[in-house]
Structure 1
Amino acid sequence: MNAPIRQTILFDLDDTLIHCNKYFNLVIDQFVDAMRTWFHAYPDMTEAAIRRKQVEIDIAGVQATGFKSDHFPQSFLDTYVDFTRLTGRPEDSNEIDLLWSMGQSVYEQEAEPYPDMEETLLRLKDEGHDLHLYTGGEPEIQRRKVDRLRLDRYFGDKIYIRQHKNIAALEQILAEGHFDRHNTWMIGNSIRTDVVPALTAGIHAIHMEAQTEWEYNNISIEVAPQGAFLQLHHLRDVPDGIQRYILGH
């Protein structure tokens, strides 16, 4: 194959390059177990009911003010309070403290790369592509992940952290950086925050399908691609997917 035309590639971080959902799911499991233990005398307190309420509250917080770390532990507390009011069971300050600590513990996990992360980024860099990292969350937390995995080796200072990761945020990055949209790609697992904003902005998109996805990320795609729209399961398939599209157009 001929060398591919140089592309500008924006990568999402959480659940695209590194694991994230699995840690949240583990902590949610701990939360549900604690709630089922405390509210065992109330038959309406099913696992499904607890999970449904926690997700509802968590997503509402993100929609209101973006990706703030307090949303997740607060969703535990608000779910707990909701069920104490529903059942009449008294609130316990020790239980509240435990739930807050439990929710915060997810941010203390090590940054674990997805399979083939290093090899994929190195290949794309060696092929001459311009790599950028675009992630949602609080700067301190996201920067810690970047530093732990030394991702500046691939992205340098081209790292964008936004509390609100949406169409407006991506448009601002593209406009301020004077990106050539015909040769720019967004790669991420979230249809809501990666794929739809990319397609709306008229750049190429690659959806990295996750094994388990956060409900917030799953929305319908109602915008037609102006360029490429690929759906892949493995990071190692990204370079060839981009190259095939370029050579075919």
Structure 2
Amino acid sequence: MQKQNIIFNLDDTLVYCNRYFNKVIGEFADQMTIWFHTLTKEQIKQKQLEIDLELIDEHGLTSDRFPESFIGAYKYFCDLTGKEKVKHEIEFLRELGFKVFNVPVEPLPYMNETLQQLKKAGHELYLHTGGDEENQRRKITQLELTTYFEHRIFISVHKDTTALSDILKTIDADPKITWMIGNSLRTDIIPALELNINAIYIPAEVEWKYNEVEVKVEPKAAFLTLNSLQDVPTAIHKHIKEEGLNHSFGLVP
């Protein structure tokens, strides 16, 4: 079997992530309705999301951005309603936002089994995760992911086509035998398709609005959608086998 370069995303591909953010956002909305009696939780969550998405352009996927979205929403509604901005309330929101980065990380089902199976088959495993170094390393360390990825770990504050392109150049990857596996259409799948490598999309249980984009790139390599991590090894090995048969019969150059 031909060895493949397999690049995994981390958050909501290998480990749970959005569920923790949504829980903290719920706590934020609950507290805000106590301070702002005329607002609904939906109005509060919508403004927080709007500010959070705006901050990505400036700060990327850093941890600091998320708590700032709470504070930005709070200040917005203070200005809107005439409420005084209270220092200890702002500090409370900042601490609440950072709370999500102290939650023990939890692997998705079949994470270890999938990585072990691919490693045992002789494939080269890589990790490309978005965020800041400290928080992502915390997760990697907690789950001992260097067992599978060793030093082949890349952390990008701005996770996009440029970041993935730099990784492919660094590892000198042949696009035909290189895969990107992730839950984010924006930061995993579209960059992979734009760089003509194979892509596997595994939708998250709960998706973040930032990741919900339309895929307008025409795939020039394999583009699969799977329901679970455990389906990844079979799908890749089936593709390798089919490619081998096509070469044997002269169906591909």
User: TM-score range with shorter-chain normalisation?
Assistant: over 0.9
- The answer on whether the counterparts of 2:180 and 2:198 sit within 8 Å (CA) in structure 1 is yes
Which letter does structure 2 place at the counterpart of 1:6?
K
CA shift, 1:115, in A, is: 0.5
- SS of the counterpart of 1:157? coil
Does 2:84 correspond to 1:117?
no
Cα deviations across residues 63-105 of structure 1 (Å, max 9, x unaligned)? 2231111110000000000001001111122211110000000
Does 2:37 correspond to 1:5?
no
CA shift, 1:47, in A, is: 1.6
- SS of the counterpart of 1:161? strand
Cα deviations across residues 118-171 of structure 1 (Å, max 9, x unaligned)? 000000000011000000111111111111111011001000011110000000
Distance 2:104 2:40 in 1: 32
- SS of the counterpart of 2:179? strand
Find the counterpart in structure 1 of residue 99 from structure 2. Answer: 105
Pairwise CA RMSD? 0.8
Which letter does structure 1 place at the counterpart of 2:53?
I
Find the counterpart in structure 2 of residue 49 from structure 1. Answer: 43
Find the counterpart in structure 1 of residue 13 from structure 2. Answer: 16
Q: 1:138-177 to 2 correspondence within 5 Å?
A: 138-177=132-171
**Alignment counterpart, residue 191 of structure 2, candidates 193, 197, 208:** 197
More displaced, 172-181 or 69-78? 172-181
Find the counterpart in structure 1 of residue 175 from structure 2. Answer: 181
CA shift, 1:111, in A, is: 1.3
CA shift, 1:38, in A, is: 1.0
CA shift, 1:246, in A, is: 1.7
Find the counterpart in structure 1 of residue 204 from structure 2. Answer: 210
Q: Which runs of 5+ in 1 are unaligned?
A: none
**Alignment counterpart, residue 234 of structure 2, candidates 240, 243, 248:** 240
**Alignment counterpart, residue 36 of structure 2, candidates 18, 35, 39:** 39
Which letter does structure 1 place at the counterpart of 2:74?
Y
Distance 1:55 1:39 in 2: 18
Find the counterpart in structure 1 of residue 22 from structure 2. Answer: 25
Runs of 4+ in 1 over 4 A off after TM superposition: none
Q: TM-score, normalised by structure 2?
A: 0.94
Distance 1:211 1:112 in 2: 14
Which letter does structure 2 place at the counterpart of 1:7?
Q
Q: TM-score, normalised by structure 1?
A: 0.96
CA shift, 1:188, in A, is: 0.5
Identical-residue share of aligned pairs (%): 46
- SS of the counterpart of 2:83? coil
Find the counterpart in structure 1 of residue 217 from structure 2. Answer: 223
More displaced, 89-98 or 142-151? 89-98
CA shift, 1:35, in A, is: 0.5
Which letter does structure 1 place at the counterpart of 2:124?
D
More displaced, 60-69 or 223-232? 60-69
Cα deviations across residues 18-45 of structure 1 (Å, max 9, x unaligned)? 01000000000000000011111x2xx1
- SS of the counterpart of 2:127? strand
Q: Which runs of 5+ in 2 are unaligned?
A: 244-253
Which letter does structure 1 place at the counterpart of 2:27?
Q
